[in-house]
Amino acid sequence: MSEEPFPVTRFAPSPTGHLHIGGARTALYCWALAQGGGRFLLRVEDTDRARSSEEAAGGILEDLAWLGIAWDEGPEHEATDGRHLGGDPRGVGPFRQALRLERYVQAAAGLVERDLAYPAFDTPEELEGLRAEARAEGRGFRYRRPAGWDRDAALARMANEPHVLRFRMPQGAMTVRDAVLGEVDFAEEVLDDFVILKADGFPTFHLAVVVDDEAMGVTHVLRGQEHLNNTPRHVALQRALGYREPVYAHLPVIQNADGSKLSKRDKDKRARQGLRERLAAEPEALAGLAGPLPEAELERWLGDKRSQLEPTALAALAERLALALPCVEVEDFRAAGFLPEVLCNYLALLGWSPGEKDADGRDLEHFDLDFLAERFALERVGVANARFDADKLAAFNQDALAELSDGDFFRRWSEWCQRYAPSALERDVDWRRRLAAMLRTRCRSLADASDADGPGGFAWRGDDEIEWEPKAVAKWLARGEPSGWQRLEEARDALALLEPFEPEGIEARIAALAEERGVGMGKLAQPLRVAVTGSAASPPLGETLAILGRESVLRRIERCLAECREKE
């Protein structure tokens, strides 16, 4: 590995699904550390042939591009905004491990030749027997080359018998230096002779990552603390191969509010819980919920908490259950209507702090990617696990949406709709533009603006789909003398011939009527708001009524009078 004057970092995901939010944070930190002269490269670790897919690899590239995390080297990708990412200016590619097999085989063969690795012929049944024996003796299972092992005989068997190659882990304890955790000691009892080349000829993660980091000049390896136990293996391999050891930095684990690890399994867990709740109420409902899965397979999954549904089957089940699954992957947050710059801002705080105060003397929390790139340093990465606060992220997002101009909010909402809610674009563009301006400061996400249950839901529902909140009806329509019903009829008559039916004129007409009756404007505005939206909360009354149009407003009033009044 050549000496590099600036950091060379890498993010190396396995293409087995969309990018997990923890992986996105790792990529963000790798990107930030490499700014100001370094290089950030992206490498696809696709040697797990059973689980890797081209679709997943493409999804990860798009996830990173959407977040604004641009890689200097790696697979080439055209982002949706027209940016061209990736390439191989230093000639260190290719960046897919499946295309680099010869390098791994050569490295493994060199280790075998020097007796630093050896073939092992254990069957799965034999390995399970060894594990069972360790459990029975109350010790952890550790594979070591047996005493009296005949090297010549084993090498002769390699040509005709299935085998794996195992690395000979040096005897003794080992200490690893970590830029975040400091010195970490590993007892000999946890260090085993691990597999570096599988029976199918493909490398394990351990060998491939070490060979590639050396070949690509990686100087800093940033990854989650769940990889910490792999580090002594990788360091031992680097020393055996004569490679330079990069700087290791293991990042805090991202946890849910309850202290559990934020995991893709959280979706499965929530769906399983939702299905059990439905079956408790409707024991015969399983057949109708199976969807693309056979009923027997869904039943098996329900009883085995270790198994996971495929993403398409999981999404179909959640839709049938009308169940919102937790956001775990970048695509989840994008579909939920979060802005990429907000997500990056929040992710940066899950383990790192700029150590600065804002104008009010509070810890600085709101910043952009340029700020992060200028100030990021491993010294300010914490050791403690980071708690993911969904409400805080939503508040960040709402603040950012409110700061957009009306034009920017409309543009970004329209782009979101094109991907996730295309039917919303069937409405007139001027109508959508007006609605967006009304809702900008009220939305916690872009999805809220076109959600029938969101702050503008009254505008998306048909006149015959409005449902009235009983508490709002009781407070604003059923009480008073004269009652809210009478005030509503007066407001209806005042608006029936109003022309033009625009916010300023509506507000002025209701204000004038309130003055004529000698009451506060709320006595008229609130019954009117409840009748047309179903709720006592909405955008300003004039804007609310204008976006609906006079005919719709009058129909809703008449329906409310007819259906709610008669229930008293």
Catalytic positions: 264
Q: Which residue has the tokens 């000496």?
A: 3
Compute the chain's Rg from CA coordinates.
31
Token pair listed for 62: 């798009």
Pairing mode, strands 39-42 and 247-251: unpaired
Half-sphere exposure (Cβ direction) of 331: Cα atoms closer than 13 Å = 14
Distance from CA of residue 168 to its chain's centroid?
Answer: 39
What's the CA gap between 447 and 459, in Å, rounded?
14
* Gap between the Cα atoms of 334 and 327, Å rounded: 9
Strand, coil or helix: what is 11?
strand
Structure tokens at 437: 């301006």
Burial class (CB in 10 A: 0-12, 13-18, 19+), 144: middle
Two structure tokens written together for 76: 């080439």
Please report where in the chains the tokens 């491939």 appear, as a residue. 208
CB 33 within 8 A of CB 5: no
Tell me if 466 sits within 8 A of 458, measured CB to CB.
Answer: yes
Angle at 500 between CA 495 and CA 504, to 5 degrees: 80
| Beta partners for residue 176, in sequence order | 184
Measured CA angle at 316 (ends 310, 318), to 5 deg: 100
Q: Taking a C-beta distance cutoff of 8 angstroms, is the pair 424, 432 a contact?
A: yes
DSSP 35: T
Quick one: how many helices (H) and strands (E) in the chain? 24, 13
In the structure encoding, which two tokens stand for residue 539, read together? 């955008």
Cα–Cα distance between 291 and 288 in angstroms, integer?
A: 7
Is the preceding omega at residue 500 within 30 degrees of 0, hence cis? yes
Compute the residue count for the chain: 568
Q: How many other CB atoms sit within 10 Å of the CB of residue 441?
A: 15
CA dihedral 214, 216, 219, 221 (to 10 degrees): -90
Q: How far apart are the C-alpha atoms of 25 and 28, rounded to whole Å?
A: 5
Q: Strands 117-120 and 164-167, how do they pair?
A: antiparallel
Q: Are 349 and 375 in contact (CB under 8 A)?
A: no
- Residue of 223, 527, 515 whose CA lies nearest to 381: 223
Helix ranges restricted to H, 145-264: 151-157, 205-215, 231-241
350-374 residues labelled b (16+ CB within 10 A) or e (exposed): bbbebeeeeeeeeeeeebebebbee
